[in-house]
Homo-oligomer: A and B are copies of this chain.
Amino acid sequence: MQFFKVKTVEETFALIDENIAAAAGTEVRELKESLHYILAVPVTAKENVPGFDRSTVDGYAVRAKDTYGSSESMPGFLTVAGEVEMGEAPDTKVTHGKAVYIPTGGMLPEGCNAVIMIEHCEDVDGLLNTYKQVAPGENVIRAGEDIKAGEVLLEAGTKLRPQELGALASLGITHVTVFSKLKVGYLSSGDEIVPYETETLSLGQIRDINGLTILGLASEWNVDVIYGGIVKDDFAIFQQKARELYEQVDCLIVSGGSSVGAKDYTTDVIQSLGGPGVFVHGISVKPGKPTILAVANGKPVIGLPGHPASAMIIFKLFGERIIRLLKGEVIQKKPERIYARMTKNIPSSPGRSDYIRVRLEEKAGEWWAEPIIGKSGLITTLVKSDGIVEISSEKEGVSQGEYVPVIPSR
């Protein structure tokens, strides 16, 4: 039996980063089917985007110096020599004293270096009156200004948001190598837990709701989920079912039962799945202290507290990071918190991170976080909440009116 010291939230995140690596599988996917996948190999641009100099406005392609000195009161005059057709290379050159009509996105004719906006000139029977001067390069996007041939457009580990798909499409990339979709499995245990479909409960029973909340959260992170069902508080059965589900998934989540003995053997079941095993056993956090994090032969195993609301908060905090790392994402440090002012004094113990469910209310143009009263076992505290206020471990609570970071729930 190993002994574990309870970890702080900060230590837990550091241990997660140290222990969790990308699952190995990659695949080549069609670009349009790759939203929210993680790029497994970098993408280098094979051509310039755009491939030619373009106008950013509707106007006239000109030589900039031909417009110098033009103003409302003293217009310049140019001869309209033609028109650029969209999607085609222009057949007219711009020479001294000439202008060519060009729509937004049109290809710049040879000889010009700027575009004068249609609002700043007037075509009077082929004579263009220019009311404003333009500088060289004005209203023009140069070839390669968006993406340069040869540059690394996206690094491995990048999450493909809609804009990344767009940038890849602009290069004509139809397939990308990404990390394969993960399978995440969840197994409930507890003598009192029955399937949520159970119509009538016997006294002492409750329905399994973690199967829906935990796997619901996981599927928000673009993974496939497998519900392993409910096992009774029995070491041998729990171990067997955990092993069966573990074999099918990339990440296993269990919650241990509450019966005498069950708490102790949840750790043993997790340890039995493979080495190196448990790396966090107990986190200095409220709610959710009895959390277990492990790696068994490269697969993360997460032991959640049984209370539904605690389980959700813990899984959102630590499970999301574990799954993103396992997906191969290179996590950039980005703000994921909004700020609000606390409506009440909330005490907390230094050395422990507290997570307070709150409702957000706007008063006089500011957001205020109103704590939701209720024990951590109550699922409705999360239903009523707009987010979770984080009181970090070095604080002794927060005061009324204080600005606090809130993890919003979508």
Using a CB–CB cutoff of 8 Å, the interface residues on chain A facing chain B are 31-32, 35, 49-52, 54, 56, 58, 83, 85-90, 101, 103-107, 141, 145-147, 153-154, 161-167, 169-172, 174, 190-194, 196-199, 201-214, 216-217, 219-220, 227, 233, 257-260, 263, 306-308, 312, 332-340, 360, 362, 367, 374-380, 382-383, 385-386, 408-410
Contacts and interface: CB of A to CB of B under 8 A. Distances in A.
A53 to B, nearest CB: 10
Contact of A192 (B86, B194, B204): B86
A262 to B, nearest CB: 8
Contacts of A338: 335, 337-339
16 contacts: A56-B375, A56-B376, A86-B191, A87-B205, A88-B191, A89-B203, A145-B378, A146-B379, A146-B380, A163-B383, A165-B212, A169-B208, A169-B212, A335-B338, A335-B340, A338-B338
Given A174-B196, A380-B147, A105 B167 contact: no
Contact of A87 (B171, B192, B308, B340): B192
Contacts of A202: 87-89
Nearest to A308: B166
Contacts of A211: 32, 169
Contact of A170 (B153, B207, B362, B385): B207
Q: Work out how many copies of this chain go into the complex.
A: 2
A144 to B, nearest CB: 11
A172 B220 CA distance: 23
Contacts of A339: 338-339
Please list the 9 inter-chain residue pairs (A to B) with the smallest Cβ-Cβ separation, ordered nearest first. Answer: A162-B216, A87-B192, A169-B196, A89-B203, A163-B382, A166-B213, A86-B191, A166-B209, A87-B191
A172 B146 contact: no
Contacts of A207: 169-172
A163 B162 CA distance: 27
A86 B190 contact: yes
A101 B367 CA distance: 45
Contact of A86 (B32, B220, B258, B337): B258
B164 A383 contact: yes
